[in-house]
A and B are shown apart, each in its own frame.
Chain A
């Protein structure tokens, strides 16, 4: 506080005025930040536009039938006599591999997240987090390689399946790839629950497991749901590992030991072969649009689910 002089005069400290350059700089920065925000929307729309532009011409040709495209299991893009572009088996393959991966990854991932956040000691926590992050850093082609060589031999010996590269193999590999994401996002969600909740619950005589089940999980459910859905996103979009591990056969699988092909693997494998501008090429782009729609639907559902939970 400034001492008031005896004479009663008001003493004012002069703040240096803002220089015009500073104001200008601030404006520029604001515009820059706004641009980078809008650019995200722009890029998404642009990608959708270009993919769709490559695919669109085939929609108006006589040999293309949208019903066949979505619901037929007949995928013979290079047949000389009877070309058929049915992606149902591919869509089913993508969904099946993802579902199997999540059945494995969600319990393990969330379990690991709970263990790291609630039970492990300080040192153990550090080690576990570093190792799990390392797991996330393994390139997908390396995962595919492991699926192709190690896992497929294991599956053949353990189950007696004729081929080791199949739905089960792809599911396990994808599960291993999504677990690090589920663990690290899930652990963040649990860490965000205030300690006071834990203490209040335990002060009321709850055991640790009761506290986790009745307080921690409900409190963190939005974050945990986000963790799972990011895992799903990774699994749906993954290409290289499933290309190598699932056997790449276009069919509706009858069990986990059948080979499948996914939408992503199909695009990756065939786009290089298809002549640019040919119907095959355009249908592959259309498959891309389909994939885009699936991931968009997953994200939208997730968003609505989270919103719904929040309102409750």
Chain B
């Protein structure tokens, strides 16, 4: 399995229901330190809900109820004392870009400022580094003070990636980040992700199965709130995965 023996995230028998409708039916898996972990699966299979359980943004959904345990660095996220600190440690990039109605600079500096960083030089350096990592710096360096929401969809998406990196998370969750980005930029960001995975753990939810194949050490195939298969990416994408459905999905036969 994963080369690293340390586990950043351990999920045990996680169940999630929206009012009475259960969408995740007791799944267990773990993510090793500094690995890229891909989650694939068709729509409505609970991928996004799963991510939202990790950093407790599921709290925003009023009728969601979650059971089981999610351990992050050995700490149960549901019992964590400081949920804000937890969210800073687990960065999240949503599928549709949500630019805050602030300037580009302020968008990236938002989280560090909330965490109490106010030194202008330090912030300048951090903003530049994050924008460079998100492959956006060259396009916006001359207009850092214009409104972030005025960027194009793809640029906004990269802005949210820069923003998610700005609080120097230990885990970066990307939820179908490439939906609004052209293939060339996608490849640039994928390179960045590979680079980043030396230092941080990346959980990647993707609809592009080839993206999972390119990046991930291990891949998990989810379907209707259950894990169909979880294994080393080469095996999942081989001609003989453990489950027939995996083969069908990966090869585009599956509905």
Contacts and interface: CB of A to CB of B under 8 A. Distances in A.
Interface of A: 195-207, 210, 214-215, 218-219
B98 A204 contact: no
Interface stretch (B36-44, B66-74, B106-114, B206-214): B106-114
B113 A214 contact: yes
Q: In the complex, which of the residues B110, B113, B115 has the most CB atoms of chain A within 10 Å of its own CB atom?
A: B110
B98 A199 contact: yes
Given A214-B110, A214-B114, A204 B101 contact: no
Contacts of B55: 203
A20 B129 CA distance: 67
B182 to A, nearest CB: 23
B158 to A, nearest CB: 15
A195 B164 CA distance: 18
Given A197-B100, A219-B101, A206 B57 contact: no
Contacts of B57: 199, 202-203
Contacts of A218: 101-102
Q: How large is the interface on B (under 10, 10 to 19, 20 to 34, 35 or more residues)?
A: 20 to 34
A204 B87 contact: yes
Contacts of B166: 204
Nearest to A199: B60
A118 B68 CA distance: 30
B100 A207 contact: no
Contacts of A197: 98, 100-101
Contacts of B87: 202-205
A204 B163 contact: yes
B2 interface: no
B167 A204 contact: yes
Nearest to A194: B98
Contacts of A200: 94, 98, 100, 160
Nearest to B173: A203
The interface residues of chain B, by DSSP majority, are classed as helix
Most buried by A among B100, B102, B111: B100
A206 B111 contact: yes
Contacts of A207: 84, 114
Interface of B: 55, 57, 60, 84-88, 92, 94, 96, 98, 100-102, 110-111, 113-115, 160, 163-164, 166-167
A205 B114 contact: yes
A194 to B, nearest CB: 8
B60 A202 contact: yes
Contacts of B114: 204-207, 210, 214
A207 B164 CA distance: 16
Nearest to A218: B101
Nearest to B94: A200
Nearest to A122: B62
B110 A204 contact: yes
Contacts of B100: 197, 200-201, 215, 219
Contact of B84 (A206, A215, A219): A206
7 contacts: A197-B101, A200-B94, A202-B60, A203-B92, A204-B110, A206-B84, A207-B84
Contacts of A195: 60
A205 B102 contact: no
A214 B100 CA distance: 10
Q: Which 6 A-B pairs have the closest CB atoms?
A: A205-B88, A204-B111, A200-B98, A205-B87, A206-B114, A219-B101
Nearest to B167: A205
Given A201-B100, A207-B114, A218-B102, 7 more contacts: A199-B98, A204-B166, A205-B111, A206-B111, A207-B84, A215-B102, A215-B110
Contacts of B102: 214-215, 218
A271 to B, nearest CB: 48
Contacts of A204: 87-88, 110-111, 114, 163-164, 166-167
A205 B56 CA distance: 11
Contacts of B94: 196, 200, 203
Contacts of A196: 94, 96, 98
A200 B111 CA distance: 10
A219 B101 CA distance: 6
Nearest to B166: A204
Contact of A201 (B85, B110, B167): B110
A205 B101 contact: no
Nearest to B147: A312
Contacts of B115: 205
A207 B98 CA distance: 18
A207 B87 CA distance: 10
Contacts of B98: 196-197, 199-200
B92 A215 contact: no
Contacts of B84: 202, 205-207
B196 to A, nearest CB: 18
B73 to A, nearest CB: 16
Nearest to A207: B84
Nearest to B89: A205
A65 B198 CA distance: 83
Nearest to A312: B147
A207 B86 CA distance: 12
B123 to A, nearest CB: 14
B114 to A, nearest CB: 4
